[in-house]
Each structure stands twice: as structure tokens, then as C-alpha cells.
Amino acid sequence: MPKGYWVSVYPTIDDPERLDVYNELAGLAVTAAGGQVLASVGGRVDAHEAGIAERVVLIEFDSFEQAVAARASAAYQKALAELPDGFERDFRIVEGLD
């Protein structure tokens, strides 16, 4: 069964401390849902074309369905409610090839 992945790119982060509560709650939600962080804040990025060399987060789940369910979970919805106003990110859930 193909794995599922959360891919998040944050175009700009003016005040990273404003994400502390979200990061804590999101981390708990991801762990509870069986997710594993593969790449995160502080990792090196070599961006090309329209790529943005800002924060990139990659999280792996055992399946696409598990990744979708984790995003819909009450625990993750609580984390989302803590994102600061005006905050922008590009978030996707993608299915692995196998």
C-alpha cells in the first residue's frame, strides 16, 4: 500500500515564535495519528524555478487515507485554530508511488 505524505511550504515567516503553539499541538496530533516527520525546520533547502527556500515540512504516514484522516482529526483541527491571522502556507497531502 502506498504511503501518504503531508508536504508544507511556508513562503514567508515574519515571526516564527507566533507558530510555537501551533507547532506543539500539530506535533502531538501528527504523532498520535502515526505520522513521522522526515524533513522539517532547519533542514537545508536547494530551491529551483518557482521554489521557495523557506521552511519546508515533510511528514510520512503509512497510507494516503491515514494522512487524510490525520488532517481531519480533532487534534489537528485544534492545532490549525492556533495558526496566526494572515499566516500563509502551501499544504498538500500526496500519495506515494509505493
> If we measure between CA atoms, which residue out of 82, 2, 7, 98 comes closest to residue 51?
7
pLDDT at 54: 78
CA distance 1 to 22: 30
Round to whole Å and give the CA distance between 56 and 14. Answer: 15
**Mean pLDDT across 40-57:** 83
pLDDT tens profile 4-21: 999 998 887 777 888 899
* pLDDT of amino acid 15: 78
Mean pLDDT over 40-63 rounds to 86
The pTM of this model reads 0.89
At 72-92, the pLDDT tens digits run 999 999 999 998 887 888 999
Cβ–Cβ < 8 Å for 8, 56 = yes
